[in-house]
Amino acid sequence: MAKIADLKVKSDDELQTQLADLKREQFNLRFQAATNQLEKPSRIREVRRSIAQIKTLQNERARAAQAQA
């Protein structure tokens, strides 16, 4: 799971790319869970929380940009 400090130094494009990768991984993990092939169930929680952290950071940046405008 990524630390929030590591995410803050990334650009918006990098965050968007990482978010897309995490969503793809989340889909694959859900598919594995449905077919009983999941090796590490705790990974689902880690991915979900990482997605939430990225979305929160993107929302904070958008609000800061809107406040400056």
Q: How far apart are the first and last CA of the chain?
A: 33
For the chain, the domains span 4-68
Q: Is the pLDDT of residue 2 over 90?
A: no
What pLDDT is recorded for position 3?
Answer: 84
Q: Is the pLDDT of residue 1 over 80?
A: no
Instruction: Could you please state the CATH topology (level 3) that the domain comprising 4-68 is classified under.
Output: Helix Hairpins (1.10.287)
CA dist., res. 27 & res. 39, Å (int): 15
Residue 10, exposed/middle/buried by CB under 10 A (0-12, 13-18, 19+)?
A: middle
Query: What is the tens place of the pLDDT at every residue in 18-58?
Result: 999 999 999 999 999 999 999 999 999 999 999 999 999 99
